[in-house]
Amino acid sequence: MDAKLFNIVSIVNEGFSDKVIEICKENGAGGGTVIPANSGITKDSMLLYGIGVHPEKEIVLVVVKPEYVEPIMSKLYDKLGTGSEAMGIFFTLPVTHASDNLLNQKRLEKEEIK
């Protein structure tokens, strides 16, 4: 089954979700959902392995059409990837089923673009 929509999942350090949404909107997305989260790594593990981990995270979910995935992902990697202060991790998931209100919203967005 081919996906007609994709969910771009971004996990960034706290305070960077606005930048994720901004990049997504600049590249065709209509908006997104931000979920506060905490890292699962313990302070003892950070000390043991000598790594610095920002424990407060934000998960950003953005549903887009397939043609928007590549430009958005490319910009996210460039601006907010692991080499940046955001320490972002990004991936996509195919959306094979969606509620009618989401599908209607995507249809309206398409009509507004015309």
Q: Quick one: pLDDT at residue 49? A: 59
Would you list the DSSP string of the chain? ---SEEEEEEEEETT-HHHHHHHHHHTT----EEEEEE-S--HHHHHHHT-----EEEEEEEEE-HHHHHHHHHHHHHHHSTTSTT--EEEEEEE----HHHHHHHHHHHHHH-
The architecture of the domain spanning 5-113 is 2-Layer Sandwich (3.30)
Q: Quick one: pLDDT at residue 46? A: 58
The residue extents of the domains of the chain are 5-113
Q: Quick one: pLDDT at residue 100? A: 79
Q: Quick one: pLDDT at residue 110? A: 62
- The DSSP bridge partners found for residue 33 are 61
pLDDT tens digits for range 2-54: 778 999 999 999 999 999 999 999 999 999 999 999 877 666 665 665 555 66
Q: Quick one: pLDDT at residue 55? A: 73
pLDDT tens digits for range 59-101: 999 999 999 999 999 999 999 999 999 999 999 999 988 887 7
